[in-house]
Amino acid sequence: MLNIGRIAGLLCVVSCAHGADRAAVEPHSGGVADYTVTIFDNLGGARVRACFRGFALAGLVPMDRSAASQLQGAWIDGIPLETREGRISLSQQLSHECVEYETQFERSRLGLGDASAVVLSQSQWLWRPEPFPTEVRTSVRFAVPGDGRVSLSWPQSNGVYQPNRNVFFVETFAVFGAFNQHAFSVANTRVEVARLGAAPLEKDVRRWLTRAVEATASVGGRFPLDHLQFVIVPVDDVGAEVAFGMVRRGGGSSVLLLPSADAQVAELEADWVAIHELSHLWLPRLHAKDRWLSEGIATYLQEVLRARCGLQSSDRAWRRIREGFERGRRSGSGQPLADESWSMNRTGAYQRVYWAGTAFALETDLRLRRGSNGENTLLTVLNDAQRNWQEEARLVSASRVLAALEQASGAEFIAALGEQYAASSDFPDTSYVDSPEYDDVRAQISAPAQGGCKVSGESSR
Ligand SMILES: [Zn+2]
């Protein structure tokens, strides 16, 4: 084991000195929170030294209740503090104090990693000050055993991360240990990759992610973010090219992908999961009852963008959409779509929610195209509307998204159509998909993107 006390002490000297320098040259009206996180040798937990200045502190609390049991203890100057249900209590309100605490990582909460590296939510080691100050400047430093690395989506310079306040409220992925780390730019977006395991190879991962970012950027000739982190964790024997994907946005956007270790690069490129997850970034995070809208748009884009960018044929895209509608029609518990979305994780009604949402996206796209002679599409409207929320990490309502889409398009049907879908207990009628009347507009939707899917430097942003 490392001598944790000694290392934390040493780092605190550095951190406190930096804090003092910064305060002297750059006066700041709010508070300061400096964290030094020392990861244990076995990657099984962390000792955190957190120093606060400029605001009253009554205690420290975990981000969510499920992390509460991971707290092993807390101290000031070696004297134990009272802890209860994960909350660290200070006996009196302090205005300048360093608290140390220790957490044990619960790998089963994400179940990812190997002997060399772990992928965790920051909720497993980041406790936030309570009451939470209205303004706080946060810095986070890490000490990882051996020559271990850190990967996070947060802005950093020289190993000091300076995340915004969202990191205390919205989860993200943190990777610690020995893993492959590389970065590149595509569609004017800085992409950082943390890749565990030996395969797929770095060059294949890079090619796969480049194509997926380009396809997603083709919605508006730009990618919606400047910076993006990917966490790639290969899995064995999954029966799919990519077993799972997930986006998290606490302090920066992060996409977790679980490819098969055996997948060939062409199979990864043709797969839908990466483009689905990236497509979520055109929208903000939505409330649970509104997830039909975000999942519907991401599912629609995963099919349409792959066809537009030559990653699948147009016929295949339409076949997959039709088959999805059939699965959606057969699944669910007969509740209105908003309720079905809200209870989806409990009832497993994913097919109903995702594909009813896809039907909404398709109907909106068709009506926009027909009403504007192809001038407006769901893609052009998403591109415009995204400027309303940009990198907003808080939960947003479907009504705000629908209003923004309606405003961007000038069409007056989108909000009402969305409300109608949300309230409906029946799977939408999608029989028009096969109607010859729609042949032209269907062909337009899945036709190759004009000028291809590469986003040039000038047109991006
Ligand atoms: Zn999704």
Average of per-residue pLDDT across 375-384: 97
Largest CA distance in the chain: 77
Ligand 1 centroid to residue 296 C-alpha, Å: 8
Ligand 1 centroid to residue 245 C-alpha, Å: 8
Give residue-wise pLDDT tens across range 266-319: 999 999 999 999 999 999 999 999 999 999 999 999 999 999 999 999 999 999
CA dist 397 and 282 (Å) reads 15
User: Which residues, including other chains, have CB under 8 Å from residue 424's CB and lie 6 or more apart?
Assistant: 336, 337, 356
Ligand 1 centroid to residue 294 C-alpha, Å: 7
Ligand 1 centroid to residue 11 C-alpha, Å: 40
User: How much is the pLDDT for 292?
Assistant: 98
CB 177 within 8 A of CB 43: yes
User: Using 50, 70 and 90 to split pLDDT, how confident is the model at 454?
Assistant: confident
Give residue-wise pLDDT tens across range 157-205: 999 999 999 999 999 999 999 999 999 999 999 999 999 998 899 999 9
Ligand 1 centroid to residue 460 C-alpha, Å: 25
367-to-115, 156, 292, 408 alpha-carbon distances in Å: 53, 44, 19, 14
DSSP secondary structure string, 199-226? Answer: -S-HHHHHHHHHHHHHHHHTTTTS-S-S
Ligand 1 centroid to residue 277 C-alpha, Å: 6
99-to-57, 60, 178 alpha-carbon distances in Å: 11, 9, 29
Which residue(s) pair with 260 in the sheet? 235
CB 385 within 8 A of CB 404: yes
CA dist 76 and 88 (Å) reads 11
Give residue-wise pLDDT tens across range 23-73: 333 444 589 999 999 999 999 999 999 999 988 889 999 998 888 999 999
Ligand 1 centroid to residue 39 C-alpha, Å: 32
Cis peptide leading into 131, omega within 30 of 0?
A: yes
User: How much is the pLDDT for 284?
Assistant: 96
Residue 125 has pLDDT above 50, yes or no: yes
User: How much is the pLDDT for 243?
Assistant: 93
353-to-173, 244, 358, 440 alpha-carbon distances in Å: 26, 18, 9, 28
Ligand 1 centroid to residue 274 C-alpha, Å: 10
Q: Which of 7-21, 33-47, 195-209, 388-402 has the lowest mean pLDDT?
A: 7-21
Ligand 1 centroid to residue 90 C-alpha, Å: 41
Between 291-308 and 202-217, two packed helices, what is the crossing angle to 10 degrees?
A: 110
Ligand 1 centroid to residue 273 C-alpha, Å: 9
Is pTM, for the whole model, over 0.85? Answer: yes
Residue 149 has pLDDT above 60, yes or no: yes
Determine the 3-state secondary structure of 188 from DSSP: coil
Ligand 1 centroid to residue 64 C-alpha, Å: 22
Domain boundaries, given as residue ranges, for the chain: 4-171, 180-282, 288-460
Residue 89, token pair as written in the block: 């209590």
Residue 369, token pair as written in the block: 């195209």
Ligand 1 centroid to residue 172 C-alpha, Å: 16
CA dist 125 and 100 (Å) reads 12
Ligand 1 centroid to residue 278 C-alpha, Å: 9
Ligand 1 centroid to residue 235 C-alpha, Å: 20
Q: What is the DSSP letter of 338?
A: H
Residue 222, token pair as written in the block: 């730009």
69-to-85, 109, 182, 339, 355 alpha-carbon distances in Å: 7, 12, 34, 31, 38
User: Using 50, 70 and 90 to split pLDDT, how confident is the model at 93?
Assistant: low
Ligand 1 centroid to residue 25 C-alpha, Å: 44
CATH 2.60.40 fits 4-171, yes or no: yes
CATH superfamily of 180-282: Neutral Protease Domain 2 (1.10.390.10)
